[in-house]
Amino acid sequence: MESGNFNRSFIKNTAIVLAIFLAGMFDSCLTAQTSNKKQQYKVAVCDWMILKRQKLGSFELASQLKADGIELDMGGLGNRETFDSKLADPVEVKKFKDKSKEFNVGISSIAMSGFYGQSFAKRETVKRMVQDCIDAMKTMNVKVAYLPLGNQCDLRKNPELRPVIIERLQWAAKQVAKIGGVIAIETTLDAAAEKKLLKDIGCKQIKSSFNFSNAIENKKDISEELAILGKKNLAQIHASNTDGFWLQNDKSINMPKIKATLDKMNWKGWLIVERSRDTTDVHNVKANYGANVAYLKRIFQN
């Protein structure tokens, strides 16, 4: 080959290789930017439902489930004056923070799940319990607390408890406001009634923790309920039904429609898997929660 032709061929081939290399670099940068972009929706699991209630192992398990975070519980309550929690101990707190960082698993909220079975309206030491939770929020740098008004504070069955619940939540709102946080309550009310309750409380620090299963039990359309409740009243979502089927197999949940509704509302936040376990294999944590997390991420993070 003549030297001129060789040089032209060499230059041409070098230019092609360089172009391919630069294109690859551009794609890599674009992929990195896309993957690092803050997600509008993040997916978490309840630590007590994956059998890791306030345990360090919850972070590793959540990572294996491909969840973005956990809802970290305050611990058992029973007849104690406050929660059985490790989160007041600086040594333990550091361990939790280190595990969260190690496995890149965040904390969606601090949960007071003890109130599923205990009365928020009647327990004498509620102020201590709530303050302990708020202190844990501050220590763990978490802005949302989850408060289920459980069986004993079901406002449909016990409407006479409404005044004391409102009074206690107004007090709680003042305390959580000091750390710039929010308390997300779950009730058995439909969206219109819950919105009215929030209005009566009259504190922006008290919002809703919306649960798919409550809407289904009330025979309401989940998307319509979310729209009624509205963006400003919605702190987080428990994105699951009672046990029976995985989310992807549950005919009572139209997940693409729910996402479209939340997109239209321009809401962003945590979707937390509580149940929706397949009752044919209800104790298989990895199968049940892995499937539900994967489905939510496929719909909401695609």
Q: Which residue shows structure tokens 């202190």?
A: 135
The pLDDT assigned to 31 comes to 30
Q: Which residues of 103-136 are buried (b: 16+ CB within 10 A; e: fewer)?
A: bebbbbbbbbbbbbebbbbebeebeebbebbbbb
Same domain, 15 and 163: no
Tokens of 113: 């799940």
Same domain, 79 and 153: yes
- Neighbouring-strand partners of residue 30: none
Same domain, 10 and 103: no
Same domain, 4 and 96: no
Q: Which residue shows structure tokens 């490790």?
A: 86
Same domain, 143 and 74: yes
Distance CA(115)–CA(31), nearest Å, equals 44
Same domain, 57 and 77: yes
Residue 73, judged by CB atoms within 10 A of its CB (0-12, 13-18, 19+), counts as buried
The pLDDT assigned to 28 comes to 35
Average pLDDT by stretches of 10, the chain with 302 residues: 46 40 37 49 98 98 98 96 97 98 98 97 97 98 97 96 98 98 98 98 98 97 98 98 98 98 98 98 97 98 90
Same domain, 9 and 101: no
Q: Identify residue 265 by its one-letter amino acid code.
A: M
What is the domain count for the chain? 2
Q: Which residue shows structure tokens 């333990």?
A: 92
Tokens of 56: 């360090």
Same domain, 60 and 25: no
Tokens of 17: 């290789």
Calculate ∠ Cα 211-62-59, nearest 5°. Answer: 115
Domain that holds residue 30: 1-37
The pLDDT assigned to 9 comes to 47
Same domain, 108 and 122: yes
The pLDDT assigned to 302 comes to 84
Q: Do 96 and 140 contact (CB within 8 A), yes or no?
A: yes
Same domain, 180 and 199: yes
- Report the CATH number at residue 201: 3.20.20.150
Q: Comparing C-alpha atoms, which of 41, 38, 39, 34 is closest to residue 255?
A: 41
Q: What spatial distance separates the first Cα and last Cα of the chain, rounded to whole Å? A: 53
